[in-house]
Amino acid sequence: MLSRFKYLKPHNLTEAVQYLEKEEKSFVLAGGTDLMILLRRNLINAEHIVDIKGLPEMAEFEFIDGGGLTIGASVVVNTVVDSEVVKAKYPALHQASASLASFLLRNRATVVGNICNASPGADLPPALLVYDAVVNIAGTQGMRQVPLHEFFTGVKRTVLQRGELVISVQLPDPGDGDKSIYLRQARLRGHDLATVGVASRIKPDGKVAIGICAVAPTPLRLFALEEKINERELNQETVEWAAEEIKQHIRPITDVRSSAQYRMQMASVLLKRGLSHLITKEDNHGSS
């Protein structure tokens, strides 16, 4: 690698954000599964690497009944995969986490890194979006919270400003009787990016939430489609209708993994499959 960076591992948050603000060519290191590749391919010129794994608030991984789930920025994906509470309360997040990259990479890759990297095809955002996830951001001016659906601004772009650092992502407690599923299409089983990924959720009040990746410049929460679905009675007929209607709400492109038409078709199929599964498993709480 050509970057001749300095390495810094701060032990308090103020130190970290001040450093990130002061030094322009500084990059945040958590799992490194994206950053190290950018460095190796000389796609970035890093002068400072700020390793956040020494910050105690980044290690938080806790579920509070009625409060929800907090996933700190240094929590690796396999921790989420192995969590019984995630499996029971947030099945779509469990499934999305278990489908991300390979087991080896999941031992390093972090949930928050998957968000901050802001890849249009990232697997975790659809599942986090359907749970109304909120991103906790620290900066030199203090803390702020941004709903995940407002966090992404474009391909590999987010609302994060210089000197800001994501501490954690937070998901409200879905309560009892909540159901969700994450389905993804990829070229092969195993280590491949998603061609399309769809998270479907039916909330305890019967309302639907839909998150999707790899069909637009950013992962999307399909609020407009949800609203139209929620105006109808949730049955197989509505599911069939929604599977056609989704095509009006996404803008996939053609790339190495798939044509735009195939993505469009698979988004339709995965939504139909997901919602059908959820409505036919009425009594199976938190089914996968």
Partner 1 sequence: MVHHKECSLLDEHIASNQRKVSLTCVVNGVEICDTIDPTMTLLHFLRDRLKLFGTKESCGEGECGACTVIMNGKAVTSCIILAIEADGAEILTVEGLAKDGRISILQEEFISEDALQCGFCTPGFLMSTRALLDRNPDPSEEEIKEALAGNLCRCTGYLPILKAVKQAAERERKELKK
Q: Is 164 in contact with 20 (CB distance < 8 Å)?
A: yes
Closest distance of CB 30 from partner 1, Å: 10
Cα of first residue to Cα of last residue in the chain, in angstroms, is: 43
Closest distance of CB 285 from partner 1, Å: 25
Interface with partner 1 (CB under 8 A), residue from 13, 21, 44, 54: 54
Q: Is 133 in contact with 151 (CB distance < 8 Å)?
A: no
- Is 11 an interacting residue with respect to partner 1 (CB under 8 A)? yes
Number of residues that bind partner 1 (CB under 8 A): 33
**Part of the chain binding partner 1 (CB under 8 A), chosen from 9-17, 149-157, 251-259, 262-270:** 9-17
Closest distance of CB 131 from partner 1, Å: 25
Interface with partner 1 (CB under 8 A), residue from 17, 20, 27, 33: 33
CB neighbour class for 248 (10 Å; exposed up to 12, middle 13-18, buried from 19): exposed
Site for partner 1 in 169-198 (CB under 8 A): 190-191
Question: DSSP state, 204?
Answer: T
In angstroms, the CA 281 to CA 202 distance is 11
Site for partner 1 in 206-225 (CB under 8 A): none
- Is 53 an interacting residue with respect to partner 1 (CB under 8 A)? yes
* Residue placing its CB nearer to partner 1 in the complex, 79 or 218: 79
C-alpha distances out from residue 264 to 91, 261, 269, Å: 25, 5, 9
Q: In what order do the strands lie in the sheet with 179-185?
A: 179-185, 196-202, 208-213, 220-221
- Is 5 an interacting residue with respect to partner 1 (CB under 8 A)? yes
Interface with partner 1 (CB under 8 A), residue from 13, 15, 117, 247: 15
Closest distance of CB 31 from partner 1, Å: 9
In angstroms, the CA 173 to CA 71 distance is 13
Site for partner 1 in 69-108 (CB under 8 A): 78, 101-105, 107-108
- Is 138 an interacting residue with respect to partner 1 (CB under 8 A)? no
Q: Hey, what are 102's tokens?
A: 């390979």
C-alpha distances out from residue 42 to 39, 108, 118, 155, Å: 5, 21, 19, 19
In angstroms, the CA 277 to CA 272 distance is 8
Residues near partner 1, by CB under 8 A: 1, 3-11, 15, 19, 29, 32-33, 36-37, 39-40, 49, 51, 53-54, 78, 101-105, 107-108, 190-191
